[in-house]
Amino acid sequence: MRRALLFITEHRRTVSLFMTLFLSVSMMLLGESSKTHFARAVSTAVFNTGRFTFSWGIYILDLWHENKRLRLQNLELSDQINYSNTAIRENERLRRLLGFRQHLSMKDSVIVATIVGRDVDRIVNTLIVNVGERDGVKKNMAVVTAEGLVGKVYENYRSSSSVQILTDVNSRVSAYVENTDILGIVSWRGGTNLMMYGLLRQKIPKKGERVYTTGVGGVFPPGLLIGTVEERSDSGIELYASVYVKPAVDFSQIQEVFILKGSERSEVWDDGEGTGVFKRPETQ
Amino acid sequence: MKTIKNILLIALALLIQSSILGRFDIYGIRPDFGMMVLLYIANTSSSVESILYGFMIGFLQDVYSPEYLGFNALTMSIIGYLLGFVSERITTEKLPARIIVTLFACLLHDMLYLILYSHLDLTLLSNLFILTGLAGAVYTTVLSVLLITLWEWAENGGLFVIVNELLGSRR
């Protein structure tokens, strides 16, 4: 073995030559298909190695560009998804409004308004809508959405109006509980819920029962949904009972409202005691 | 470093040969860039390295045409051996010696290749040798002498010498 290694070292040139010649002749003696297969395997390996060696920089640059492009595309797609979701929500809301308007069967006596602002005061709860006197809006007109009663027109200007909503501290609405003769006054006493007070102790509404406007006073047409009874709010020793009412309208989410024409004949007057005394409708 | 340089040169030569060789075509005669690289390597390496690089170049050339697999590997190995043998005994720095060695190597390569290709059919061998071998050998010799001389001149600081001289004359 050692002698062989010594021989190879001494005659390395001749050995190298014969080794390469042997390999060359062996390749020549391969069959046609074997030659093709072998050459294809070698060329594939060589070209893949070469491509990897020389193109990794280009590959990384391509990846960087692709990454940048995909990020931008991702941003655009996210934007489109947001836009689509907004459009879907708007579509649903407008469909509900349209359905409600048809339900009212009073197309000529409804003014569609968009909310353009909200009162920043923490006590006074009003909305600013984009319709005013020139659109036929008058004070004390009832304001509703497809979900239910919102409030009434509090102030009207030439091209905008202020709407007093049910969660305003000065708001009072005469109401009744569905399928009963329970009457009361709905107002806001803080928190997220309304309160229906002035109820006879013998007639306490149950949780989940719906509360509607009576129409007494003429500001609000009868039968407009105000909300649903939540729970009793009095301690049980007062002369009159009261219950919490969850508003049908989510006042923080509304964007469009309907102003009901012909509902401005009179306004509710609060005597401060919660008994609900109504002014006689004014003659026009 | 030297090995990497040689491998890169081989890759470059084969890349040129497989892509833009048509631009060097003169009446159907094409230069052998693999042979040029082998000539350069034989000038700067040992005879064993010349044989192995010769085999590598030939083998990679054969991969392009599998039906003649081994032809170039064999001939280039022999040329590598002879070039290594020659470069160890005579200096090829002078232009006439370089031309003679290059031309001899190209002719021998073509002769060996055509012997294998023609299966010793002397008519075919002589025809092919006269039509492609001789002209191709001359073309390869001229181009390789030119390119190798330029390469060695640039590699040995020729460019720097010129730049330094230009800067010196301005001062």
**Residues A95-131 as b or e (16 or more Cβ within 10 Å = b):** eebeebeeeeeeeebbbbbeeeeebeeeeebbbbbeb
Domain termination residue (choose one: A20, A54, A86): A86
As a whole number, mean pLDDT of residues A94-119 equals 72
User: Do A30 and B69 count as a contact with CB atoms less than 8 A apart?
Assistant: yes
Q: Which site among A8, A12, A14, A16 would you substitute to test the B interface, given the most B Cβ atoms closer than 10 Å to its Cβ?
A: A16
Q: What is the pLDDT of residue B79?
A: 92
**Same structural domain, A173 and A251:** yes
As a whole number, mean pLDDT of residues B36-46 equals 85
* Domains present along chain B, CATH in parentheses: 2-170 (1.10.1760.20)
**Same structural domain, A259 and A124:** yes
Q: What is the pLDDT of residue B163?
A: 65
Domain termination residue (choose one: A53, A86, A119): A86
**Same structural domain, A131 and A265:** yes
As a whole number, mean pLDDT of residues A262-267 equals 52
Is position A274 within any domain? no
Give the lowest-confidence range in A120-124, A220-224, A230-234, B126-130: A120-124
Q: What is the pLDDT of residue B88?
A: 79
Spatial neighbors of A246 by CB under 8 A, at least 6 apart, are: A192, A193, A194, A227, A228, A229, A230
Task: State which residues form the domain around A236.
Answer: 107-269
Q: What is the pLDDT of residue B53?
A: 92
CATH label of the domain that carries residue A247: 2.40.10.350
Give the lowest-confidence range in A189-198, B26-35, B64-73, B161-170: B161-170
B117 and chain A in contact, CB less than 8 A: no
Contacts of A21 in chain B (CB under 8 A): 74, 77-78
Q: Which site among B19, B65, B69, B109 would you substitute to test the A interface, given the most A Cβ atoms closer than 10 Å to its Cβ?
A: B69
**Same structural domain, A164 and A43:** no
As a whole number, mean pLDDT of residues A151-172 equals 88
**Same structural domain, A145 and A221:** yes
B135 and chain A in contact, CB less than 8 A: no
Tokens of B163: 């730049």
Q: What is the pLDDT of residue B54?
A: 92
Q: Which residue of A has its CA nearest to B54?
A: A20
Contact A283, A266 (CB under 8 A): no
Q: Considering CB atoms only, which of B51, B64, B116 is closest to A16?
A: B51
Is position A282 within any domain? no
How does pLDDT run across B100-137, given as a tens digit for each residue? Answer: 888 889 899 888 888 888 887 888 888 888 877 888 88
Residue A170 has pLDDT above 90, yes or no: no
Is position A201 within any domain? yes
Give the lowest-confidence range in A10-14, A35-39, A132-136, B160-164: B160-164
**Same structural domain, A64 and A196:** no
> Which A positions 49-78 lie with beta carbon below 8 A of chain B?
50
How does pLDDT run across B50-100, given as a tens digit for each residue? Answer: 899 999 999 888 887 777 788 888 999 999 999 888 887 777 677 788 888
User: Do A25 and B84 count as a contact with CB atoms less than 8 A apart?
Assistant: no
Residue A230 has pLDDT above 80, yes or no: yes
User: Do B67 and A36 count as a contact with CB atoms less than 8 A apart?
Assistant: yes
- Residue A119: which of A164, A61, A80, A180 has the closest Cα? A164
What are the C-alpha distances in Å from B91 to residues A234, B81, B95, B96? 118, 16, 10, 11
**Same structural domain, A117 and A243:** yes
Q: What is the pLDDT of residue B90?
A: 76
Tokens of A236: 């049980």
Please state the domain count of chain A: 2
Is position A57 within any domain? yes
User: Do B77 and A17 count as a contact with CB atoms less than 8 A apart?
Assistant: yes
Contacts of B64 in chain A (CB under 8 A): 43
Contacts of B87 in chain A (CB under 8 A): none
**Same structural domain, A155 and A245:** yes
Is position A48 within any domain? yes
B52 and chain A in contact, CB less than 8 A: yes
User: Do B51 and A17 count as a contact with CB atoms less than 8 A apart?
Assistant: yes
Q: What is the pLDDT of residue A214?
A: 87
Spatial neighbors of A120 by CB under 8 A, at least 6 apart, are: none
Residue B11 has pLDDT above 50, yes or no: yes
Is position A96 within any domain? no
Is position A70 within any domain? yes
Between β-strands A126-129 and A277-278, what pairing exists: parallel, antiparallel or unpaired?
unpaired
Distance CA A171, CA A153 (A): 11
B45 and chain A in contact, CB less than 8 A: no
Residue B18 has pLDDT above 80, yes or no: no
Q: What is the pLDDT of residue B158?
A: 63
B26 and chain A in contact, CB less than 8 A: no
Residue A226 has pLDDT above 90, yes or no: yes
Residue B141 has pLDDT above 50, yes or no: yes
Give the lowest-confidence range in A114-118, B49-53, B164-168: B164-168
Our separate counts of H helices and E strands in chain A read 3, 14
Residue A174 has pLDDT above 80, yes or no: yes
Distance CA B100, CA B108 (A): 12
The DSSP line for chain B is -HHHHHHHHHHHHHHHHHHTGGGG-BTTB---HHHHHHHHHHHHS-HHHHHHHHHHHHHHHHHHSGGGTTHHHHHHHHHHHHHHHHHHHS---SHHHHHHHHHHHHHHHHHHHHHHHHTT-HHHHHHHIIIIIIHHHHHHHHHHHHHHHHHHHHHTTHHHHHHHHHHHHH-
Q: Which residue has the higher pLDDT, A176 or A278?
A: A176
**Same structural domain, A124 and A213:** yes
B70 and chain A in contact, CB less than 8 A: yes
Residue B13 has pLDDT above 90, yes or no: no
> Which A positions 15-34 lie with beta carbon below 8 A of chain B?
16-17, 20-21, 23-30, 32
**What SS3 class is residue A93?**
helix
Spatial neighbors of B12 by CB under 8 A, at least 6 apart, are: none
A13 and chain B in contact, CB less than 8 A: yes
**Same structural domain, A232 and A143:** yes
**Same structural domain, A116 and A66:** no
As a whole number, mean pLDDT of residues A8-37 equals 84
Enter the ipTM.
0.75
Q: Considering CB atoms only, which of B51, B58, B116 is closest to A13?
A: B51
Q: What angle do CA A11, A14, A19 make, to 5 degrees?
A: 115
**Same structural domain, A143 and A253:** yes
